[in-house]
Structures are given as structure tokens and as C-alpha cells.
Amino acid sequence: MLKVTLRGLMAHKVRLVATAVSVLLGVAFMSGTQVLTSSIGASFDKTFADVYAQIDVVVRSTNKVETPFGAERTRISGDIVPTIDAVPAVEAAEGQVVGQIKVLDKAGKPLVTAQGPPNFGLNWLTSPQLNGWNLIDGVAPAGEGDIVLDAKSASDGGYSVGDRVDVSVTSGVREFRLSGIAKFGKLETWGGVQAALFTTTTLQGMLGEPGTFDWISVAGADGTSQEQLRDAVSRVLPAGTEAITGKEFTEESQDAFQKLIAIFNTFLLVFALIALFVGSFIIYNTFSIIVAQRTRELALLRAIGAGRGQVLRSVIVEAFVVGLVASIIGVGAGIALAIGLNALMQQIGFSGPDTPLVIPPVAVLVSILVGTGITVVSAVFPARRAATVPPIAAMRDVSVDRTGTSRVRLLIGLLLVLLGALLLWLGLFGGTDASLQSIGGGAFFVFIGLTVVGPVAAGPLASILGWPLRRLGVTGRLARENAMRNPRRTSTTASALMIGIGLVGFIAVTAQSVKASTVEAIDQSIRGQYVVTTEGFGPTALPQSIVPELDADPAVRTAAGIGGTFARVDGSDKLLLATDPSAFARVVTVTDVAGSFTGLRRGQIAASKKLAEDKGLEIGREVPATFLQGGSTTLTLSSIYDTELPLPGSGWIVSVDQFNASIPPDYQTFSQAYVLLRDESSAGVAGAKPGLEAIVAKYPGAKLQDLAEFKKAQTDQANQFLVIVYVLLALALVIAIVGVVNTLLLSVYERTRELGLLRAVGMTRRQVRSSIRLESVVIALMGTLVGLVIGLVFGWALVKALADEGITAFGIPWSQLAVIVVIAVLAGVGAALYPARRAARLDVLAAIASE
């Protein structure tokens, strides 16, 4: 029986190619994702190892705040450097200062944009044992006006030794002379990010903390292990500081980066699994059709003695071989994909060490197992049907598909849909903490339920959608009848499209709702006429000095800035916002729920209405908080506020006075500033713009936007994310289209004799082609329309579930949905081109004589 199976595979290679392609694409995306992220991770692991290679021990503060980008720690006093240096086992000890800056190009614009990696300022270490920089031109910084750039920054800015280089920091723009250009080891950057180096006192003054360091690097004497050196240094350290080995310091940095990569990896893997999920429908459909077409062959095998188990194993082995071969090729394609993406990232400036591509054995094994497993599982039900073919079926020419009238199928499908609807209801109105997970589970079961019940509904739906085709004559009637004739084949093919289109529609509706909610909130909340924004965050955002300058403009009634910092508040590390509450309440609509928002002072904190409800907060409650400067403190809840403006962060707000007392000077910035004019008429708004632009132009990276421009900038962020998601979902749609091609090809093969007879009685090649294309359009429309309905329903459900998160408006992107329908129709026509051409070119006599 194994020989029969293998010979069958070799004799009918073409019929399984599209199935293999479906598996191959999904596996390629899965393996490519894991190879790419593993390579990036390994690359930056080596980067951190190179950056900190000379460090044996690090001394740092014990006061820290966790952020999504790793822990941030309070800077420590440089007074302890001589004490550490005096430890006998210490060869060298020197403080390291690290701060975010903006190196400007010759036009006064930031050299590194917000889309690129950060731009850091470092102090030039004088100890050869600790300094990993190598000058390739010029000399090290020696005075207050000297700067050294990494090779990439110098190249990007077109700088040569002796040129003037401007640098923007929180305190303003400083002018320097380029004294040298350096590489870090063999790298043109500081481990993938661009850097500028200054004397220690210069950088400390720029960051506003003279005499302090982010950490102290220590090199040990020969023969001293890192652990021995750590223990020796720890004995002389003051309270509030700690010593760790260089190895531990490197591993911490590597772990923080790996967490970011893991998020990226998970995001891409979700789409890979979606692609494989869609592909499973194509595999199922293909094997179902193959089994139907081989009814006589399988029945003859049964008639000459083959048992049901042998027939079952025959189809399973066939699926296993197809899945295994496709998965192996898919892993190879994934590696090629990872190489291409890596090269693309290098081209756009994402640089790292020159490390070879990493191919994790686990990623290869898992990808092959998943691809092969999905193929085999998808073939199980068709294999069971094949095993039940009675020998008497050998006497029949064709098998009749009766799934369209199956009551069991209808009952099971409806139960699954009802289960999905129940989970949807629980997610919306059940009051559970896992509402989003419940809605996601509901969507899954609805998809599966509709797929199960699909063959029952496919006939009527094909009849309705194909009804206009009757006016096209015989070709239209044939297309409609062919789509209705085999409801299982039609519905399974449409199901793959349904899932892809449903996800696209769901994302489009969600994104449109986010944009509509954002615009609505801005319209309802911002009373001002202009907003000043920046590409940076934290130290590279807007200096607080911009607000007094805006306030001093004669055309301005009030200007208010808002900034943020990470802090541990009430036991959790969160993004906390800061503003001048009185000024902010004049330019943004803020409603007091309890207490007084405008009365917010130092030592106090405000909470949003939602946060207060979630935590059961009341005015007067003591809230513990830990900041980078000043360590732990206790703040009093003095305000519970409400606003429609979609503010980032957790909902906690403090005054600027408290903010500035709690964080380092270089972090004392605003991310946005709102401007309310004295004259709010159109003429007044236009007249104030030149003066405001002159102020904003002093701050590199700052942008002045009116409300229309501000709303567009906010919604453009959603559009950028939407484009990424659409590109990733395109893989699922490509697989679905491949499924349509596969189904039509097999359908043509199945109807070879019928097409030959039609040609014999006068049907032209053009009419044959048209009937196949129109049948494809009916299938595409069926999957598209059902998918759009599902996308709309679950998009609405998600918006309802996120109402407390600021997504208050339900938006339907009619133009995008119309484009989706048009694309689906065109895809249907495109998918039918080759099958239609093949059908039209059949030899009439050979087709009539076929079995």
C-alpha cells in the first residue's frame, strides 16, 4: 500500500503543489521570524558583550525604576571613585556618564530621527583599561568645547575634524568643535546606536548633574576574578550603592533587549499562525477534493482487498509527505526571508556587529513539526471519508456531495457559532477582567462554526450572489450552478478568504474607531488653537523653557506643557504625567470628579476617574511613590479628574514642581505644549502663527501644529500601524488566493469530461474561460462579504470593550471596505486565470474519453 501511495504522489504532482505552497508560505514566515529575531538578539548580545568587555565590576545606585526599555537608576556621586580606586585589587576605576542628546546636522536638524536608534552622549574615559573607543582621526576631547563623534554620526552629518557641531540638550543648544572621530572597537557606532563623546565635566554640566555618574566601571588587577573584585569593592561602598560583576551587568543589558525582541517576535508569530490557520482550510479542501476525485480508485483498492486502515494510512502518508517536504522547503525560504529582512534593516540604519545569521535548531524543528502537523491534521477527516468508501462505489462515475443537506453539520456549526456569541456577550457585558480574551475566543469559535456550517449555507449563498450572472447567458448560469453544485468545496475555499478578509476588516474597523475616538477627544477637550510636539521622549523632548517663551508672546493667553517619567507608584512601575494644573485646565477641558485638579501642589498626586474606580481610590489617600531623584516618598491623592483627551500613561498626574523635584534635570522636559490664543478668530489664529513659529524654531525637533495638523499627525500613527498589519495579513490573503487557484484547478480536473462535452456541443473556449472566472468571483464574494460582516461585528465588540480605555467612537471605514471588496473580486478573477486557461485548452476528444 505504501508503494501505491508513493506512486500516486509521483503520478499526480501538480494537484498537490498548491497545498504545498500554502504550507510553505506559513512555515517560511514562522521560521523566518524566529531566525531574524534570534539573529538580532545574538547580534546585540555580542554588542553588549563588546561594549562592556573591559569592565570587571560595576558600581551603581540601588534606587531604580523599571521601564519597558530596562531599569533606570539614580546617578551616584563621584566622591566614591577615589575610595574604589584605593582597593588593592583594583587596576582602574572611572565613572561613566550616559545621557540622551541630539547631535544636529549642518542645517540644525536632529541627525537621528525618532524612527532611528537613540543618540547618546558619553564621557571620554581616560583609563586605557576601560575605554573601548579608538580614534581614527583627530584627538580625544580635552576642553569644554571639544566633541568626538562616532564614525557613523560623522559620516551622516558630513563632519570633518575641526568642524563646528551643535548639540541640543535640555538646557539648550551648545556649540562644539569636532576634535576627533572614533570607532568603538571595530564598530562605527556605540553598539548600534550613535554617540558623541565629551570630557566628563562637560557632559555632567550639560545633563545638569555635576559630579555624578550613571555607574562606575572598575577593572581588576591580573589574577583577580570578577567575583573576588566585586566582594572587595562592596566592602568600601556607602549605603544606597551596590557592586555587581561585569558579566552580570552585561547579562542584564542583554536580558532587557531580549524582552523587547520577544514582543516583536510574538507579534510576527501571531501572523504566521494566522497564515497557517488559513492554510489548513486549503489543505483540508485539497484533500477533500482529491478523495472525492479518487472515489473509483479507492473503491477499486477496497474491492481487491485493501482494508479501511490501509486506505486511511494511505491518505495520511500522502499528507505527511506533502507537509514534510513543504515544511522543509519553507524553513529554507524562511532563512532566505530573514537574510533579506536583515539586509533591509541594515540599509535603513539598524546597524549592529557583523555576526553570522543564527539558525536556532528549535526554530527549525518547531516550524517543521507545526507545518507537517497542520497538514496531517487537516487531512484526517478527508482520510476517514476515503476509508469508508464502499467497494460498490467503483461502479459509479462520480460521487455526490450531500454535505449541503447534513443536519448534523448544521447542528454542530450552529452550536459553535452560539458558543462564540456567548463568549462575545460575556466579553461585552459579563464584567470579567478577561473581556478581550473572551472576545478573541468568541471570534475563533464563530470562524470555526461558520466554517462547519458553511456547506449548508454555501448553496443558497452561491445562488443569491450568482443570481445576476444569469443575465450573462450560459457562462453565467454554469458559473452559478458550479458554485452551488459542490457546497463543501465552495464553502471551504470561501472560508479561507473569510478568515483573511474578516481579520482585515476587523483591523480596519478598530483602527478607524481609534482614529475617530482620537479626533473626537481632541475636538471636545483641547480649547487651544496650537500644539507644539516633538519626535523625542524624555531627555530629547521639549525643554520646559519653551512654555514661558510661548506664554510671553503677546498673542498667547495661556500655554501649558505636559511631560512624563517612569516611576513606581502604588506598587507598580508606570508612566506618570506632569503639568502645571492651573494652566493645563485652561487649555484642556478637565472635569473635577473629586478634589481640585487646579489645586494640585507639590507632595500631591491626581488620579484619573477610571484609575480611581479600578483601584477604589478616595481623596486623602496616601500613595507611595519611588522616583529616580529623591528615592521613595509618599504623595497625597488630592484630585480625581476626568478628561476626554487621550493622555498616555497610567492616569497618575503630578505638578511640575513635584516632577522637577523627583527626576534628574535632563529628564525635566515636556512631550507636548498646548497654546490658547487671546484672539480665537481665524484671523487671530493666522496672525499668531509667525511669532509662534519663530519661538518653536529655536528648539530642534519641535513642530508647531494647528489642531487640524495635530489631529492628522495623531491619526497618521494609527495609519502607519495599519499598513504594517495589512502587509502581514497579506500573507494570509495570498494563501487564501492560492487556495482558490487550487480549488479551481482541481475542479477543472474533476470536470474534464463535462468540459469536453460542453466544447463538443458548441461552447467556445472564451465561454469556458468566462464560466471558470465567474465561478471564482462568486466564491471570492462569498468569503469577502461574510468576512466583512464578521469583521464589523467583532470590531464593534472590541470598541465596546475598550470604551474605558478611551476608544469611545465606532468608526466604519467605508472606502477601505469598498476597496477590500473590489480587491477580492479582482483577486477572484486573477486566481481563475490559469485554471480557466487550462480548462479552455483541453483537447475535446481526450476530455470526453477521460475517466
* Each residue's pLDDT tens digit, 523-576: 889 999 999 998 766 677 899 999 999 999 999 999 999 999 889 998 888 889
pLDDT tens for 599-653 read 999 999 999 998 998 889 999 999 999 988 877 889 999 999 999 888 877 889 9
- pLDDT at residue 593, rounded to an integer: 93
Question: Are 100 and 119 in contact, with CB atoms under 8 Å apart?
Answer: yes
Tens-digit pLDDT profile for residues 144-182: 999 999 999 999 899 999 999 999 988 889 999 999 999
- Most confident stretch, 146-150, 339-343, 378-382: 146-150
d(C-alpha 387, C-alpha 393), whole Å: 12
The helix/strand/coil state of 410 is helix
Buried b (16+ CB within 10 A) or exposed e, 197-229: bbbbebbbbbbbbeebbbbbbbbbeeebebebb
Tens digit of pLDDT for each residue in 672-694? 999 999 999 999 999 999 999 99
Residue 400 has pLDDT above 50, yes or no: no
Q: Max alpha carbon distance in the chain (Å)?
A: 104
Over residues 757-771, the pLDDT tens digits come to: 777 877 888 888 888
pLDDT digits (tens, 9 = 90+) for 172-203: 899 999 999 999 877 788 866 889 999 999 99
Ranked by mean pLDDT, the top range of 256-265, 440-449, 812-821 is: 812-821
d(CA 849, CA 626): 84
Write the CA distances from 165 to 115, 168, 189, 428, 535, integer angstroms. Answer: 22, 10, 18, 57, 21
Mean pLDDT, the chain, rounded, equals 82
CA-based torsion, 249, 251, 253, 255: positive or negative? negative
Cell of 758: 460542453
For residue 546, how many C-alpha atoms fall within 13 Å in the half-sphere facing its CB?
35
pLDDT digits (tens, 9 = 90+) for 218-234: 999 888 899 999 999 99
pLDDT of residue 644: 85
Name beta bridge partners: 193.
Answer: 190
pLDDT at 795: 82
352 pLDDT band, cuts 50/70/90, is: very low
Residue 81's contacts (CB-CB under 8 Å, 6 or more residues apart) are 93, 94, 95, 213, 216
Q: Is the pLDDT of residue 351 over 70?
A: no
CA–CA gap between residue 744 and residue 101 (Å, rounded): 60
The residue among 447, 394, 691, 664 whose CA lies nearest residue 552 is 691
Q: Assign residue 342 a region: left if phi > 0, alpha if psi is -120 to 50, beta otherwise? A: alpha
pLDDT over 90 for what percent of the chain? 30
For residue 722, CA distances in Å to 190, 499, 512, 789, 813 come to 33, 18, 10, 19, 12
User: Could you tell me which of 143, 158, 228, 187 has the C-alpha nearest to residue 346?
Assistant: 187
* Residue with more model confidence, 109 or 292: 109
How do residues 254-265 score in pLDDT, each as one tens digit? 787 777 777 777
User: pTM score, two decimals?
Assistant: 0.76
Which conformational region is residue 274 in: left (phi greater than 0), alpha (psi within -120 to 50 degrees), or beta?
alpha
pLDDT at 139 over 50: yes
Q: How many CA atoms lie within 13 A of 445 on its CB side?
A: 18
Three-class secondary structure assignment of 58-91: EEEECCEEEECCEEEECCEEHHHHHHHHCCCCEE
Cell numbers describing residue 818 = 469598498
Cα distances (Å, whole numbers) of residue 289 to 187, 732, 745, 746: 57, 21, 11, 7
